[in-house]
Amino acid sequence: MIVLGMGNDMIDIRRIDRSLQRFGTRFIHRVFTEIEIAKSERRANRAASYAKRFAAKEACAKALGTGFAAGVFMRDLGVVNLPGGKPSLMLTNGAMDRLRAITPNGMTAQINLTITDDHPWAQAIVLITAVPAEFSHHLSHQT
């Protein structure tokens, strides 16, 4: 296994709450995927749910080595839950292109995500690794 990138982000939940109040659905649909919206809107503390997902996007963009540039946009990164409930990230468009570009030939990339919140903070850590393709079928999530 090799490490392709690592990123960390921390955000004040109150900042996301202010954006939700001020910009409403315009903010939500500009930043979050439909899966993230459905999950967050069901939560009692929707601001904390959105904040964790926002932090995950930031952390992943850092792990990809681009930030939100070079064709990587917020909606290209979406927090999803694996069958057991573990959070992970689904990449599309420019983010997926970047992941493919940094993954060595013959290897399969894996994205590991941890998210947490303790009011007023939400935090996410992303670790992107690669394993030889022949071992990827043993893993629970691959990109």
Full set of structural domains in the chain with CATH:
2-138 (3.90.470.20)
* 17 assigned to a ligand binding site: no
d(CA 51, CA 44): 13
Structure tokens at 81: 């839950």
The predicted structure's pLDDT at residue 134: 81
Structure tokens at 87: 């959070």
The predicted structure's pLDDT at residue 136: 65
Give pTM, 2 decimals: 0.91
d(CA 121, CA 135): 37
* 76 assigned to a ligand binding site: no
Name the residue with tokens 């070079």. 70
- Residues of the chain below pLDDT 50: 138-143
d(CA 90, CA 104): 19
Contact at 8 Å (CB) between 7 and 58?
Answer: yes
The predicted structure's pLDDT at residue 142: 43
